[in-house]
Structure 1
Amino acid sequence: MTQTMKFWGAAALSLALAACSGGPARVASTPTPAVSTAGEVDRINDLLLAGDTGGARKALKAVLKREPMNANALLLRDSVERDPKELLGPQSYPYAVRSGDTITGLATRLLGNRLKAYQLARYNDLTAPYALAPGQSLRIPGTPPRPEPVRSEPVRRPEPAPAKPAPAPKPTAAKPAAPAANPVLARQLRTAGLAALNQGNVARAVAMLRRAAAADPGNPAIAADLARAERIAATVRARQ
């Protein structure tokens, strides 16, 4: 009995010493990384657009089991299970596919949500893969967006041409002023003219009397003398 107690005492002491000296360390368990729901939703959307409806359903079930009220997951579930015309409405308008259009791009631009691309594809009875060709006709749910009003540029009226300056009046040649009457000189010239006429110098007489008439134009006596002298001069020329 004493030996048995000693054995169990020694065993207990050995266990205590092992605990104090630090036994084998326990490895801490690594926490499982959290799953990105947003990433899973994107993957489910890609599966739908690739035509893998079964894989998308399975992934959706896992996400909704973890997050039953996840809005994007619920939208994709409705995209698979419900009628697209019920989801998007019966009213639609035509759309001609343009170069560069994709089903996801049209859902983003015209429906406001890229995750509605699968709904839009089902709405148009398309089959995966959903490649679009320029000119292809689609029906877009809803009413067509209003075209932006064309802003007309204000009509610019041509600026009036600067008025041409009026031509400067041409300077008119000033008429020479009539010489002032000089009765004194006129008498002197008349006297000289009559003397030349009496002496038979008709040419000199005419010249003197013309100058006398110019010096006193309104003198009738000088005019009469000049006329007589010119007649005489004409007679003399006629006889020569």
Structure 2
Amino acid sequence: MAMNLPWLDPGDPFPDVSSAWGPLEPAPGLLAAGGALDVETLHRAYSHGIFPWFSEGQPTLWWSTDPRMVLYPAEFQLHRSLRKTLERFAIRPGCEVRIDSAFDAVIRACSTSERPGQSGTWIVAPMVQAYQAFHSAGFAHSVETFIDGQLVGGLYFIAIGRAVFGESMFARQTDASKIALAALCALCRHHEIDFIDCQQNTRHLASLGAREIPRPEFVAQVAQRAREPGPQWQFDPVYWNELLPAKTRA
């Protein structure tokens, strides 16, 4: 670790996000190390556009990347193949989206999913435990894709008021994680929640309509939305109408 990276003791305030490492430093976006992974610290971090991300054997590392990858639900790209998948899913008996019925199963599935180009996972045991506590406190949620009673894919996200932060997805069947993301976008459209944080740029996210915005713009949006009361995190099948013409569900 570089000497100019702040070390946090539990309860210490986070440095200003503008002090995060820049593009010419070893880990752009790295803000601090140490601290705690308790509910209060996680709430404070996300409310300021900061997230934890570290691997086995590393201390807790805190990040605030610039630019920030954001998916605006109004800009979600429903490509032809995914549209057809959703049209079938929305009308087929036994296919359903649930929220918060299997959070532990979702985060554990995300933690064991293989990622292209990665030899391990950043969702290490302390992270799983921390987000389980965050879920119990009402700030972490899961969107689950079920087919015939079986969990086949999903994602988990953080919600502070109306500020939404996507974390990780998994799929055991083709497009099962994309169905969960589409459901989250539909729910957000219905409740007029206008952005979902995606943290870092990937080709997959860009193909779905996510784009980069400057960190100051992102932090300002988070600060405003985090103060607004959030919705009840429940999924009603009628929300598919936010993405699909109503006639496809007749």
TM-score, normalised by the number of residues in structure 2: 0.20
Rg comparison, structure with higher value: 1
TM-score, normalised by the number of residues in structure 1: 0.20
Q: More strand by proportion, 1 or 2? A: 2
Higher relative contact order (CA 8 A, sep 6+): 2
